[in-house]
């Protein structure tokens, strides 16, 4: 892996830690600068581009999380790795919501930290394992389905906060999915699983870079491939939480198409779980009714015509007529032209 001209900023109030990490990273061919406080770090960030910042939470002048927010706002290409000797669920969630690349609790493995820095220095580095470990940590802290769901939804909101045009999208998809599942006659247990899966169906987008997620226009083929990884990423996050096993499966397959042209696994027809087929319709309807920077929202009539046109290709041909019937009979339940609040 090429690491030439990759600069790392180390921020820790302990000079010994700064010295140790500087020597370790220098041995990897990385150029390092050090700061023992937040204001010193801000000054260095303003003067020089850094590929990675490794920062303790507890530092003078400001917290490491406040410095992380500063990077998110003014230095978006710098990936931040947070380290802390006082781990908490709140710090973990806050780090993730502010776009941290990784999160380590002290004492940590220097080898694993070095590997994280190496990955972060690579071009278009992925989110690494932070979302999955965040889900694991939340579940370990909260052995309760409802509390875990609230925590996972908080992570979903961090995705939607990155893309203001999709704010409230998950709640609206859950709204439609619940009523559609009831309308086609699924039992209460399945309806609830579909509703929960809808609330978290886009959790995998937490690993999609901002430059792709918020791009105001068509995506390149490579960017589209990155976006198309989100159902599998969401599945990998949710499957770590045993009470969401059913929902994880629905999330994985919510972009599979009836004719086998979907992703990530190219399932077709009855091989796609019924709940995922409902999610595909609910997700697509809300997307069509939604305002975007590069398109005007469809009217309900236009969205239902598109639903009918794609019956048997993208959507289950048995569910489509029932879905169209429900939307036509319940116009008061339809949220149109969703925009920023």
What is the Cα Rg of the chain in Å? 22
**pLDDT tens-digit readout, 252-305:** 999 999 999 999 999 999 999 999 999 999 999 999 998 776 678 899 999 999
C-alpha span between 14 and 65 (Å, rounded): 17
pLDDT of residue 125: 53
- How distant, in Å, are the alpha carbons of 11, 76, 97, 132, 164 from that of 42? 10, 14, 20, 30, 27
pLDDT band at 5 (very low <50, low <70, confident <90, very high): low
204 touches 190 (CB < 8 A): no
Residues 6+ apart with CB under 8 A from 132: 236, 237, 240
pLDDT of residue 62: 92
Tokens at 6, concatenated: 């990759």
Give the number of residues written for the chain.
Answer: 341
pLDDT bin (cut points 50, 70, 90) of residue 340 is very low
Tokens at 202, concatenated: 């886009």
User: Which residues, listed in sequence order, are joined to residue 103 by a DSSP beta bridge?
Assistant: 82
Q: Would you state the pLDDT for residue 94? A: 75
Model-wide pTM > 0.85: no
Cα angle: 255, vertex 261, 266; to 5 degrees = 70
Q: What angle do CA 85, 86, 88 make, to 5 degrees?
A: 135
Contact call for residues 250 and 276 (beta carbons, < 8 A): yes
Residue from 43, 178, 205, 215 carrying the catalytic annotation? 205
* Domains, the chain, with CATH or none: 7-125 (3.40.50.2300), 145-333 (1.10.3210.10)
Report which DSSP code applies to 125: -
Give the model confidence (pLDDT) of 70-102 as tens digits. Answer: 888 888 889 899 998 876 766 777 787 677 888
What is the average pLDDT score of the chain? Answer: 84
**Pick the residue with more confidence: 24 or 130?**
24
Average pLDDT over residues 18-37: 91
CB count within 10 Å of CB 47 equals: 8
Other Cβ atoms within 10 Å of 317 Cβ, number: 13
Ramachandran angles phi, psi of 320, nearest 5°: -55, -50
Residue-level pLDDT at 2:
39
pLDDT for position 102:
87
Work out the pLDDT band at 1, boundaries 50, 70, 90. very low
Secondary element (H or E) of residue 33: strand 31-35
Reported as a single tens digit per residue, the pLDDT across 234-257 is 898 888 777 788 999 999 999 999
Nearest Cα to Cα of residue 228 among 200, 248, 208: 208
Residue 309, number of CB atoms within 10 A of its CB: 12
Whether the pLDDT of residue 214 is over 90: the answer is: no
Contacts of 193-196 with C-beta under 8 Å, sequence gap 24+, read 193/246, 193/247, 193/250, 193/275, 194/250, 194/275, 194/278, 194/279, 196/149, 196/244, 196/247
Tokens 């220095």: give the residue.
121
pLDDT at 178: 95
Predicted confidence at residue 207, as pLDDT, reads: 77
Would you state the structure tokens that stand for residue 238, as one six-digit string? 């949710």
The tens digit of pLDDT for each residue in 161-200 reads: 666 556 678 889 999 999 999 999 999 889 999 999 998 8
205 belongs to the catalytic site: yes
pLDDT at 341: 30
Higher-pLDDT residue of 142, 117: 117
What's the pLDDT score for residue 152?
66
């Amino acid at each position: 892996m090429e690491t030439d001209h990759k600069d790392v900023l180390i921020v820790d109030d302990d000079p010994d830690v700064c010295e140790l990490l500087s020597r370790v990273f220098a041995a990897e061919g990385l150029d390092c600068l050090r700061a023992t406080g937040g204001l010193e770090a801000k000054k260095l960030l303003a003067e020089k581009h850094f590929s990675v910042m490794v920062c303790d939470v507890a530092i003078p002048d400001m917290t490491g999380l406040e410095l992380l927010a500063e990077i998110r706002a003014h230095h978006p290409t710098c990936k931040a790795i947070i380290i802390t000797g006082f781990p908490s669920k709140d710090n973990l969630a806050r780090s993730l919501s502010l776009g941290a690349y990784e999160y380590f609790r002290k004492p940590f493995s220097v080898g694993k930290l070095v590997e994280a820095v190496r990955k972060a220095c690579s071009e278009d580095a992925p989110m690494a394992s932070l979302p999955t470990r965040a889900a694991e940590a939340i579940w370990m802290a909260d052995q309760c389905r409802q509390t875990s769901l609230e925590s996972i939804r908080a992570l979903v909101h961090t995705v939607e906060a990155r893309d203001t045009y999709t704010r409230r999208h998950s709640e609206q998809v859950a709204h439609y999915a619940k009523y559609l599942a009831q309308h086609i006659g699924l039992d209460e247990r399945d309806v609830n699983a579909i509703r929960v899966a809808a609330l978290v169906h886009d959790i995998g987008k937490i690993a999609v870079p901002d430059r792709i997620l918020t791009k105001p226009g068509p995506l390149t083929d490579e960017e589209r491939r990155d976006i198309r990884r989100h159902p599998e990423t969401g599945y990998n996050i949710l499957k770590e939480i045993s009470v969401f096993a059913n929902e994880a499966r629905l999330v994985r397959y919510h972009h599979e198409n009836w004719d086998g042209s979907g992703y990530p696994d190219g399932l077709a027809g009855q091989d796609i779980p019924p709940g995922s087929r409902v999610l595909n319709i609910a997700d697509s309807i809300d997307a069509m009714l939604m305002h975007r920077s590069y398109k005007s929202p469809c009217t309900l009539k236009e969205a239902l015509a598109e639903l009918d046109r794609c019956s048997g290709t993208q959507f289950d041909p048995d569910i489509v007529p029932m879905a169209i019937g429900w939307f036509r009979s319940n116009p008061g339940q339809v949220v149109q032209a969703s925009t920023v609040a």
